[in-house]
């Protein structure tokens, strides 16, 4: 069960890690591949006041993390739908039906070829992601208020979209997602002391040449050490079977450009939108200390519009019960004017 008390405590991707023999920067690039107070709303509604209002019909537009796809958010979408809400999970360019699975990734795997096989995701940029999500938000906005939700590295894309069209977004939600504010990129956030305990650094990625432009993970590896690191990073309280099921939904390639791109939220654009951070307190991929750092720096950038923080006892993949997240998103719906 989650702790749903309001808090302003800020004291403190799916992504891949690298091996100890590689340079720290290479490890960091691999690691980010895969991976406040109540905001003023209207006259300054509190969560209790918002909860007493009937929820307005909103559309939740959800953005997945690195190496994932819309299926990774399917249980959240389904739970919201069963509660009578509109929700859509977006497949970012090169993901979902458009995903690329290298031939060398198939069975039997050719691990040597997997290091060098080109991928179309090497050409995908943060702008491409933002273009795609912006188009979805514009369509959804025709039906009423829009809540834009990010999970993991999807936060970089959500920031970029919010910088473009703040007038079309009623609320931003970061579900243990990256939110660069004072720091330029996801990579820069992962170089902070607050990120040092991330289990992503223990997940060994496939070493690929820089010219491929991708971070690659062999989710089909049978290495027990790799599996153990994945379980710790993504779902430490999940069963082994649940972790394997999760890993089998993930895609091997992610554009290396996303984690190094400037994804800072602009105070005059992104900073105008009310925002909520779902802080996953058991997250070992984006540690709570790093989540707190992002919350604190965002609030310092826009002191008049601070994060509404909701702690949930969940690992990086989210609560095992999707009703926990859905309940939080219903509260957000009530905050939308």
111-151 pLDDT per residue, tens: 999 999 999 999 999 999 999 999 999 999 999 999 999 99
According to DSSP H, which parts of 142-239 are helical?
154-164, 186-190, 224-234
- Beta-carbon neighbour count of residue 69 at 10 Å? 22
* Burial class (CB within 10 angstroms; exposed 0-12, middle 13-18, buried 19+) of 75: middle
Report how far residue 60's alpha carbon sits from residue 143's, in angstroms, rounded to the nearest whole number.
11
What pLDDT, on a 0 to 100 scale, did the predictor assign at position 3? 41
C-beta of residue 99 within 8 angstroms of C-beta of residue 251: yes
| H or E element at residue 254 | strand 253-255
Which stretches of the chain drop beneath a pLDDT of 50? 1-27, 29-30, 34, 36-45, 47, 49-51, 54
Q: What is the DSSP letter of 297?
A: H
Residue 50 and residue 334 in contact, taking contact as beta carbons nearer than 8 Å? yes
DSSP per residue, 188-211: HHHTSGGGTT-GGGGSBPBP--GG
Give the C-alpha separation, 269 to 182, whole Å: 14
> What pLDDT is attached to residue 329?
98
Q: What pLDDT does residue 331 have?
A: 96
Query: Over the Cα atoms of the chain, what is R_g?
Result: 19
d(CA 320, CA 309): 20
* Unique residue bearing structure tokens 């890690």: 17
Per-position b or e across 163-184, b if 16+ CB within 10 A of its CB: bbbbebbbbbbbbbbbbbbebe
Q: 214-216 and 253-255 as β-strands: parallel, antiparallel, unpaired?
A: antiparallel
Rounded to 10°, the helix 240-247/224-234 angle is: 90
Stated pTM of the model: 0.85
Interhelix angle 126-141/154-164, nearest 10 degrees:
60
Partner residues linked to 148 by β-bridges = 61, 172
- Per-residue pLDDT tens for 201-213? 999 899 999 999 9
């Amino acid at each position: 069960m989650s702790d749903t008390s309001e808090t302003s405590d800020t004291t403190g991707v799916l992504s891949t890690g690298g091996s100890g023999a590689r340079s720290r920067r290479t490890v960091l690039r691999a690691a980010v591949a895969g991976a406040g107070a109540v905001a003023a709303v209207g006259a300054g509604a509190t969560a209790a006041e918002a909860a007493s209002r009937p929820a307005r019909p909103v559309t939740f537009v959800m953005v997945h993390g690195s190496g994932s796809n819309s299926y990774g958010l399917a249980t959240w979408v389904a739970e919201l739908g069963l509660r009578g809400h509109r929700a859509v999970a977006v497949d970012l360019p090169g993901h979902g039906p458009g995903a690329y699975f290298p031939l060398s990734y198939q069975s039997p795997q050719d691990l040597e070829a997997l290091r060098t096989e080109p991928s179309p995701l090497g050409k995908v940029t943060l702008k491409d992601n933002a273009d795609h999500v912006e188009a979805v938000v514009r369509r959804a906005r025709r039906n009423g208020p829009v809540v834009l939700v990010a999970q993991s590295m999807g936060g970089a894309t959500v920031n970029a979209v919010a910088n473009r069209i703040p007038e079309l977004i009623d609320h931003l939600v970061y579900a243990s997602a990256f939110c660069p504010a004072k720091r330029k990129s996801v990579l820069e956030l992962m170089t902070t002391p607050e990120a040092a305990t991330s289990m992503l650094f223990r997940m060994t990625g496939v070493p690929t040449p820089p010219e491929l432009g991708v971070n690659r993970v062999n989710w089909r590896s049978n290495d027990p050490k790799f599996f153990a690191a994945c379980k710790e990073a993504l779902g430490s309280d999940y069963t082994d079977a649940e972790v394997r099921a999760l890993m089998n939904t993930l895609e091997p390639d992610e554009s290396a450009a996303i984690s190094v791109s400037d994804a800072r939220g602009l105070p005059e654009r992104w900073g105008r939108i009310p925002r909520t951070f779902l802080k996953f307190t058991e997250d070992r991929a984006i540690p709570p200390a790093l989540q707190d750092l992002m919350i604190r720096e965002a609030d310092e950038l826009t002191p008049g519009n601070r994060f509404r923080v909701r702690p949930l006892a969940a690992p990086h993949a989210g609560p095992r019960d999707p009703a926990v997240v859905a309940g939080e998103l219903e509260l957000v719906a009530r905050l939308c004017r």
